[in-house]
Amino acid sequence: MEAPYRIVHDRPGAPENVLRIERTQLRPLKPGEVLVEVTRSAIHPGDLQLIAAQGVRDPAQWPRVPGLEGAGVVADAAPGALAGTGLAPGSRVAFFAPAAWQSHVVVPKQALVALPPDVPDDIAAQLLVNTVTARHVLRAARQNGGRLVQSGASSSTGKLISTFALEAGLAPIRLVRSAQSADRLAAILPGGDIVDTSSADWQERVRELAHDRIGPIIDGVGGTLLTELAVLAEPGARIVSYGRLDARPVDHTPFIAKGLSLIGVTIGTWHQDTGIEDQAGDLRAALRLGQTVPDLFAHAGSFPASHLAAAIAAAVSPGKPGNILLEL
């Protein structure tokens, strides 16, 4: 086995300035733990935001290894940890656990998902976080009549939200930020309606499509668009926020004037606020889509860890058609 290494940062800041690669030592496994040799890990927007300190983090945890999910091979396990899992050393797995950006990661056995042969590592490495987030968001939206409206619909998570909404018989009104994104999304994932928010009359277009019956709103962008969605919403409506692609401030005036509810949803609380059956259903849904609709998990490039700066630059480039992957 090659010497283990990890990507770390010792302080918050711009990823290109604070991330570094260092050699590390493997520690003894505790009961219930499994060692995974990582092959791929996705770079999610949330990973970059946490590196830049745009989230709550305990400073005592430095140095910190970013990353929330990956794919790899079981390398070792604590005695009895794999009992009843169907896994063994050499089994291919996906995992949803922190500190994924390293060559070898120790995870609890419940964080592992066995991979079928027809799900390659490039898909498996980005399979869980976005799928779980999409289903988590839709549960929070609580469809109660009217058309579901979602922003950020061309993003990786946005496409999955649309997929599950369409499967549930909903016809979401999907918002994107350019005509090019609208055309690309319509070709990849037909169904519902797509509205380009760069058009001056996009809010009126949404009202027309909804026949003035706008239901819950799901926002993955934030910033000024979130304020505009609040203007669009019906009095007393619920807006579910799960992302912040736009760092500009939000004007909360329409929230107050209309008595709107703004509900934040994060995958970080999934284990705490989601029942065991729903958790299992989320993981099964992820595998199903990975096998049946692999185009939903197309990535925009993969980079070896030694090309970390190039990977970060690609991850923050606008308009990329999918996630950037790290080869570990």
pLDDT score, position 55: 55
How crowded is the C-beta side of 169, counted as CA atoms within 13 Å? 2
Average pLDDT on 88-116 reads 95
User: pLDDT category, 30, cuts 50, 70, 90?
Assistant: very high
pLDDT score, position 223: 93
| Lowest-confidence segment of 2-6, 8-12, 144-148, 276-280 by average pLDDT | 144-148
pLDDT score, position 26: 94
pLDDT tens column, 122-131: 999 999 999 9
Q: Which amino acid is at 266?
A: T
Q: Facing residues of 108 across strands? A: 33
If residue 207 lies in a helix (H) or strand (E), which one and from where to where?
helix 202-210
- Using the 8-state DSSP alphabet, how is residue 189 labeled? S
Alpha carbons 136 and 15: distance in angstroms, whole number: 28
pTM for this entry: 0.90
Alpha carbons 212 and 146: distance in angstroms, whole number: 8
Question: Terminal CA-to-CA distance of the chain, rounded, Å?
Answer: 13
pLDDT tens column, 181-196: 999 999 989 989 999 9
Contacts of 209 (CB under 8 A, 6+ apart): 147, 173, 193, 195
240 pLDDT more than 70: yes
Q: Which amino acid is at 323?
A: N
What are the Cα distances from residue 152, in Å, to 16, 197, 220?
25, 10, 5
Percent of residues, the chain, with pLDDT higher than 90? 77
pLDDT score, position 59: 63
Average pLDDT on 18-31 reads 95
203 pLDDT more than 60: yes
Quick one: tokens of 111? 């964080």
145 pLDDT more than 80: no
Q: Which amino acid is at 217?
A: I
Q: Is 29 exposed, middle or buried (CB count within 10 Å of its CB: 0-12, 13-18, 19+)? A: middle
Beta strands 299-304; 112-114: pairing state: unpaired
User: pLDDT category, 60, cuts 50, 70, 90?
Assistant: low
1 pLDDT more than 60: no
All structural domains of the chain:
5-126+298-327 (3.90.180.10), 134-269 (3.40.50.720)
pLDDT score, position 58: 65
Please check whether residue 298 is in contact with residue 187, taking contact to mean a CB–CB distance below 8 angstroms: no
Please check whether residue 168 is in contact with residue 314, taking contact to mean a CB–CB distance below 8 angstroms: no
